[in-house]
Structure 1
Amino acid sequence: MTVPIARTLISIGIILMVAGCVNVYDERSDAMNREYGWHDPGYMYPEQYEPMPGSNIITDFSSNGEMIYYTGLNEKEQQIPVSGGPHWLYVHGGSCVSCHGIDGKGGVPIMMGTVIPSDITYEALTSEGEHEDEHEEHPPYTDETISIAIREGKDPSGEELDYTMPKWDLLDEDMEDLIEYLKII
């Protein structure tokens, strides 16, 4: 066998091996996507909605506001449109809990973020104490300014929140339900 023919056969073999790996990968990733619903809205990680024994992750929601907070979907299972914020949030679905945590207190750095997510419990947002962010002090939030923060990414003084805060396009009734949920977490 001559050297050029051997090189050609080796090249063909390598191409076939790579093509075979790609096909196996595609089949595996498709199976994983079907099994875990990774492309379904509101499902960031499969474990997020399949709780381990003793887990405090909620999968049965008691209100529309709670469902929005945890999944980014409303009770009609419509994905809440979002703009801005981290790209991974809308690639895999996401929600308030993805950054602010199950207790709403934030405090943990998020992937690709520049600030630590703040405490968004209603008590913390509306208290008369100091409210500072990376820009300046601002007055306490009201239901109206919470809505503006969620929809427009602005604090009560009109300053832009960090760019990692997405802008959610919630219907009025969904916004009311979400704010009601913030009052109980």
Structure 2
Amino acid sequence: MARKNLVVIALALIVAGIAGLVYLASIPGYVPGIRGPGYPDTAYPVNEDTLEADYESNGQMIYYTGYNETGQRIDTSGGPHWLYVHGGSCVHCHGEDGKGGVPVMMGYVVPADITYEGLISDEHAEHEPYTDETLRRAIRSGIDPEGRPLDATMPRWDMTDEDISDLIDYLKTL
């Protein structure tokens, strides 16, 4: 009798799970596990419409899409696996306002506040304030101002000097 009840419960849970997936799939623009509070409505993968959107600067385009103004995808190493599979950019972890605060998909790490004001503040308990040069090193190599590695969920971005300067200029506007 108990075994029969377990089978019924298991089937009910499977049906409920399928119904939930059907419901989520019916939401326009829903991409499983990618979006959450504070994240933009940019669809995966980035497409021509996204690249032709009006960005105020190359740095903003990089922040939102992971592509530069020439349409080149900026390569990464490290970081979450979904970044390689679906694409992604700074905004997908740090949010539109750059303040982070929401754990990265399938992880527990809470992305840091990367607003320029937050980065250069003396209030960091865990490291010295960033400068433009230490910020470049953090973005490219995943090293904080004191020479320690950032968490492995932070991708290492292979950016040109121009692209990284443009991105830092954009961070200064957040």
Same structural fold, with TM-score higher than 0.5 when normalized by the shorter chain? yes
From 112, 120, 136, the equivalent of 1:118 is 112
Residue 154 of structure 1 contacts residue 160 of structure 1 at CA under 8 Å; is this kept in 2? Answer: yes
Shift of 1:113: 2.6
Structure showing greater radius of gyration is: 1
| CA deviations over 1:91-116 (Å, ceiling 9, x no partner) | 11100001000000000011133320
**Alpha-carbon RMSD:** 2.2
| CA deviations over 1:52-101 (Å, ceiling 9, x no partner) | xxxxxxx4201000000000000001000100000101211100001000
User: Structure 1 vs Structure 2: percent identity of aligned residues?
Assistant: 64
Unaligned runs of 5+ in 2: 1-28, 36-40, 45-52
1:138 aligns with 2:127: yes
Aligned AA for 1:145? T
From 99, 102, 113, the equivalent of 1:108 is 102
Counterparts of 1:77-96 in structure 2, within 5 Å, are 77-96=71-90
- Paired with 1:90 and 1:157, the residues of 2 have a C-alpha distance of 29
From 132, 156, 160, the equivalent of 1:171 is 160
- Paired with 1:158 and 1:112, the residues of 2 have a C-alpha distance of 27
| CA deviations over 1:120-168 (Å, ceiling 9, x no partner) | 0000000122x14xxxx21100000111110001110011111100000
How has the CA–CA distance of structure 1 residues 63 and 49 changed in structure 2, closer, same or farther, with 3 Å as cutoff?
Answer: farther
| 2:12 corresponds to | none
- Paired with 2:107 and 2:158, the residues of 1 have a C-alpha distance of 21
- Paired with 2:86 and 2:43, the residues of 1 have a C-alpha distance of 13
Counterparts of 1:16-165 in structure 2, within 5 Å, are 47-49=41-43, 59-129=53-123, 131-132=124-125, 137-165=126-154
Residue 114 of structure 1 contacts residue 162 of structure 1 at CA under 8 Å; is this kept in 2? Answer: no
- Paired with 2:136 and 2:106, the residues of 1 have a C-alpha distance of 24
- The number of equivalent residue pairs is 131
- Paired with 1:141 and 1:174, the residues of 2 have a C-alpha distance of 18
How has the CA–CA distance of structure 1 residues 121 and 138 changed in structure 2, closer, same or farther, with 3 Å as cutoff?
Answer: same
| 2:16 corresponds to | none
Runs of 4+ in 1 over 6 A off after TM superposition: none
